[in-house]
Amino acid sequence: MEAPLYPRESGQFIAERSQDVTVKQEGVQKVAEMLYNLRHSEDLTVGGWKKGNPLAPAPTSPQALNWVFVADTLNFSFWPEKESEQCEVTFKGTKYTGYMTLCAAIARAMEEGIPITDPKYFSKMSLEDLGHVLRSDNETAMPMLQERHQVLTEGGRVLLENGGSFLSFISQAGNDARKMVELVVEKIPSYRDETTYEGKRIAFYKRAQILVADFWGVMEARGEGDIISMDWLTMFADYRVPQALVYLGVLHYTDALMQALKKGELLSSGDRREVEIRGCSIWSVELIKERLCQLVRERDGQACSVTSAIIDFYLWPYAKLHHKEMAHIPIHHTRCIYY
């Protein structure tokens, strides 16, 4: 089988052929200007990582890197069947929903003395044990428990076969972000976020890329973030950031797609429309980054260090913060292990 196009090339290939999703140049310009005005803020640095992961252990903690691996291996499909029936986890008096239920559940398990960040434990943990770790405060369980158990135990076994920790595993790729993504995708099947579009094999690698970006975030906070080719990473194609891109006028959905999403139609993984939403999201952020860096060069006479990953680190919390203003824009729903 032919090797798939990498995420950036996949995004461009899809955007050039997309039927239901369009990248709007005026939206790209608007967001580039918005980010230019934030160029001196911490929002556009890798320091923004901690803001998006407030429940993660301190970067200097011995558990920090294995925490990243566990959280990103389980980081998929948190949306509820009905908005009124959200899975909820309370930790230290705060109630969490969405992705943060996972972070809260891991933090709660660590506080309870469950060695959830130890590959020796999570490579062999039972389905029941994981169910206990991920238990909800209410009747709505976290979706896809069996799939989460399968990918976590699989990932744990890979770590045990490669030195016994996420650091020893990922170090095989040197300090090269691209090689890290390739290593993760080669060794851990659940990270192979690939499909076919217009007869071409394409890849999004959402979780593999965010795993490497989160590793970078922790290492940078430790003062050890000397990782090359971070600019090779794209945004992390999920269901929350595309909503923000539509809201900001960067992406435009056809009426047919908008109606299908408003009716709550479930898009299967690999559905043409789902692929177009994810691919155009990737390509639009590449164009935003390109335009932003052009503005920095032209107006400030400086090189631009903002990467697509950093733009994603900004857009994801932005979407959470403005979720009420965005409520009229439907999120696409795809139940899968990739995002």
Q: In angstroms, rounded to a whole number, what is the distance separating the alpha carbons of residues 97 and 326?
A: 17
Q: In angstroms, rounded to a whole number, what is the distance separating the alpha carbons of residues 225 and 59?
A: 12
Spatial neighbors of 329 by CB under 8 A, at least 6 apart, are 243, 246, 247
User: What DSSP line would sit under 6-64, residue for residue?
Assistant: PHHHHHHHHHTT-SSEEE-HHHHHHHHHHHHTTTTSGGGSTTHHHHH-TTSPPTTSTTH
> Cα 5 vs. chain centroid, distance in angstroms?
19
238 catalytically annotated:
yes
Torsion angle defined by CA atoms of residues 276, 279, 280 and 282, in that order, rounded to the nearest 10 degrees: 160
Please check whether residue 64 is in contact with residue 58, taking contact to mean a CB–CB distance below 8 angstroms: yes
Q: In angstroms, rounded to a whole number, what is the distance separating the alpha carbons of residues 246 and 277?
A: 10
| Dihedral sign, Cα of residue 234, residue 236, residue 241, residue 243 | positive
In angstroms and rounded to an integer, the radius of gyration of the C-alpha atoms of the chain is: 19
Quickly list H helices, the chain: 7-15, 25-36, 48-52, 64-73, 99-111, 119-122, 127-133, 145-161, 166-170, 177-187, 206-221, 240-247, 255-262, 272-295, 308-321
Among 238, 255, 271, 300, the active-site one is: 238
Q: In angstroms, rounded to a whole number, what is the distance separating the alpha carbons of residues 252 and 325?
A: 17
Helix or strand holding residue 91 (H, E): strand 89-91
- Facing residues of 195 across strands? 202
Catalytic annotation, residues: 238
